[in-house]
Structure 1
Amino acid sequence: MESESPQPPPAALGTGAVARRLGVSPTTLRSWERRYAIGPARRDEGRHRRWSPADIARLELMCRLTAQGVPPSEAARVARGAAPGPAPESPGAEPGAAREPGGPRALRLGDVRPECRGLARAAVRLDAPAVEDLLAAALAELGAVTAWEEVIAPTLHAVGRKWASAGERYIEVEHLLSWCVSSALHRIRPVPERLPAPPLLLACAPGEQHSLPMEALAAALGERALPVRMFGAALPAEALHDAVRRTGPRAVVLWSQSRTTADVALARSVAGIEWGPRGARGRSALLLAGPGWGGGPQPPYTERLFGLRSGLAVIESVAAGRIPANAAGRVAPAACGS
């Protein structure tokens, strides 16, 4: 009988890939190797580090222990002595909690990209430099839309679920992560506008402080060389009216996170604004974004946006004139995605 062919050894990863997976910076991994002798067993030619699954398992255990407050030197000693395979659970942890780095503090993410898990781990540790590095890498490699939908938003939602179920705990994680996300989105340089065109005006409803989705939209529109005027959180109603009249935007995107800030009367008044000189008056499309608007009746000349990617398709159509501004409210719901 022919002998079974040997199984190929598991692929080893480079330092950058391991750092993204664990939610630490490559500098941190090199520092741990230098200070605590918790490095890879293998190096390729040119001194490139290659981390095996057993190496990564030890690093995961060290990340979990340091997230629980264990000093790095002690965490490294425990990790070095751990046998390859599933990492042991920490004393007092719930059964199965060790399956997620951070033990009982871990964020439950489900089936997500490795970059998302790394970002969550760094956020729980309040490791701001690592969070910043991971966000910068995700935005550079994936672009604003994919990075937001598949890395940033799932992590933010997981943090929100965590602190909502844990009283006042973990709010510091959400605040740090939100700040880093906002900073990373603001660092994206927009592509220069191709031709002069009416801008797209982005604002949050009066009293609405949750502006990160609008910041992600502004970054994505900038990547597409579309002119944007971003007014951020809680723009007063009168200021919104003035901004529409002064800029003559092709479209206005108004964000509302909760029903308490979704003012239908305001939407109706903004949709009815006309601007420009007599005889050449114009009107902007009003696009309502965010869960606060619910499923109730929409004011005339308005449209709902659902999700960043599908919403971008509608905005690009309006900006290109494929959907006239005065007909935006008659766009079929399927045009906005789900």
Structure 2
Amino acid sequence: MAVPPARTPARWNSAQVAEILGVPQVTLRTWDNRYGIGASHRDSGDRRWYSAADLDRLRRMRGLLAQGYPARTAASTALAGTAADVPPHARIASIGSAAGRLSSGALAGLLDDALATLGAARTWGSVIAPVLRDLGDRWNDGEDCMAAEWTLSAAASAALDRHVPVVDEASLAEPVVLACSPGERHELPVKMLYAALRETGAPAVYLGGMVPGQVVSEVVRRFRPPLVLLWSMTSSTADLPLLRELRGAGIGVCPAGPGWVPAVNGPEPVAETFDDALRVASGARARARAVAQRPRRRRSSPVPNRR
């Protein structure tokens, strides 16, 4: 289940922000003085104090600078919160380079900008997934890219935490439940699916990676979802016994991810790709809403009215 991030201070000083962003304090002062993007609070000693919104804008500016934007344009775009016109190949190159340098600070700004501009689904399909595929290909060719993949995945997960507001899941009505199979460690596609659903206003519960079957069953009993989407990247993590157990209990379950394709036999529908899974999850929620809004027929009385 999505867990709210640890509480952070409402304000940060210049030294803390410089460390978070990976830039010198003098750069922060320059951005503030020249372009008006910086701390929204100053104390009686003229010391700068940064809010969470200030930090988000500075992350985005850093990401735009990494993609070749002039500083003044990057600042005005970040301050206005408008979309950045960056072609996909430029985003891929910038994020791939930052991942290769293991630069979490640069990745934070790049990913924040991609999510703000493209949304979760397009950020995954046109930016993050291509970079991960490239790293996987290079790994297969004998290049050691594990640290780069790990850094990118961690940065993307953190960017999603910033992008999607925390909700009290106990208040959700019939949400779609998204979970990885018990042995599946690759949870980033599922977290991206969760963010994409949340962007549309659809209620969803994200359980994370390597979710025990007992947890899935308990969450289903609690929320009564219209659909459980069970994700596996490889056939070794496709848990057929859990799939059968959930369906035997009358639960609507969709096996999703490429790992289910060789594991499921016959005409069993599998949402193999990210886009397939998003369509299935969105469709299940839309059908549940339509059923809930359908007017109920009044039952005729078995006894005729007599006057």
Task: State the match for 1:305 in structure 2.
Answer: 271
Q: CA deviation at 1:249?
A: 0.8
Equivalent residue in structure 2 for 1:156, among 132, 135, 139: 132
Task: State the match for 1:165 in structure 2.
Answer: 141
CA distance in 2, matches of 1:189, 1:264: 31
Task: State the match for 1:278 in structure 2.
Answer: none
Q: CA deviation at 1:295?
A: 4.2
Task: State the match for 2:260 in structure 1.
Answer: 293
Equivalent AA in structure 1 for residue 120 of structure 2: A
Q: Secondary structure at the match of 2:163?
A: coil
Q: 1:250 to 1:27 in 2, by over 3 A?
A: closer
Equivalent residue in structure 1 for 2:154, among 173, 179, 204: 179
CA distance in 1, matches of 2:129, 2:178: 19
CA distance in 2, matches of 1:196, 1:205: 23
Q: CA deviation at 1:238?
A: 1.8
Equivalent AA in structure 2 for residue 318 of structure 1: A
Structure with bigger helix share is 2
Equivalent AA in structure 1 for residue 224 of structure 2: G
Number of residue equivalences: 216
Q: CA deviation at 1:140?
A: 0.4
Calculate the TM-score normalised by the size of structure 1: 0.57
Equivalent residue in structure 1 for 2:65, among 26, 33, 36: 26
CA distance in 1, matches of 2:149, 2:277: 25
Task: State the match for 1:70 in structure 2.
Answer: none
Task: State the match for 2:188 in structure 1.
Answer: 212
- The residue correspondences of 1:227-242 to structure 2 (distance < 5 A) are 227-242=203-218
CA distance in 2, matches of 1:137, 1:244: 35
- The answer on whether the counterparts of 1:215 and 1:232 sit within 8 Å (CA) in structure 2 is yes
CA distance in 2, matches of 1:305, 1:27: 35
2:113 is equivalent to residue 134 of structure 1 = no
Q: CA deviation at 1:310?
A: 3.5
Equivalent residue in structure 2 for 1:189, among 164, 187, 192: 164
- The answer on whether the counterparts of 1:290 and 1:306 sit within 8 Å (CA) in structure 2 is yes
Q: 1:322 to 1:203 in 2, by over 3 A?
A: closer
Q: 1:267 to 1:306 in 2, by over 3 A?
A: same
Q: 1:114 to 1:201 in 2, by over 3 A?
A: same
CA distance in 1, matches of 2:264, 2:289: 21
Q: CA deviation at 1:175?
A: 0.9
Task: State the match for 2:80 in structure 1.
Answer: none
Equivalent AA in structure 2 for residue 260 of structure 1: S
- The answer on whether the counterparts of 1:202 and 1:218 sit within 8 Å (CA) in structure 2 is yes
Q: CA deviation at 1:297?
A: 4.0
- The answer on whether the counterparts of 1:237 and 1:266 sit within 8 Å (CA) in structure 2 is yes
- The answer on whether the counterparts of 1:128 and 1:180 sit within 8 Å (CA) in structure 2 is yes
Deviations 1:276-302 (A, max 9, x none): xxxxxxxx32111111112454599x7
CA distance in 1, matches of 2:64, 2:99: 12
Task: State the match for 1:198 in structure 2.
Answer: 174
Q: CA deviation at 1:304?
A: 1.6
Equivalent residue in structure 1 for 2:96, among 92, 95, 120: 120
2:282 is equivalent to residue 316 of structure 1 = yes
Quick one: percent identity of the two aligned structures? Answer: 34
Q: 1:125 to 1:192 in 2, by over 3 A?
A: closer
RMSD, aligned α-carbons: 3.4
Q: 1:224 to 1:253 in 2, by over 3 A?
A: same
CA distance in 2, matches of 1:262, 1:296: 7
Q: 1:308 to 1:187 in 2, by over 3 A?
A: same
Task: State the match for 2:43 in structure 1.
Answer: none
Q: Runs of 5+ in structure 1 lacking a partner?
A: 1-22, 31-39, 41-46, 51-110, 275-283, 326-338
Higher relative contact order (CA 8 A, sep 6+): 2
Task: State the match for 1:258 in structure 2.
Answer: 234
- The answer on whether the counterparts of 1:206 and 1:235 sit within 8 Å (CA) in structure 2 is yes
Task: State the match for 2:294 in structure 1.
Answer: none
2:199 is equivalent to residue 223 of structure 1 = yes
Calculate the TM-score normalised by the size of structure 2: 0.62
- The residue correspondences of 1:76-87 to structure 2 (distance < 5 A) are none
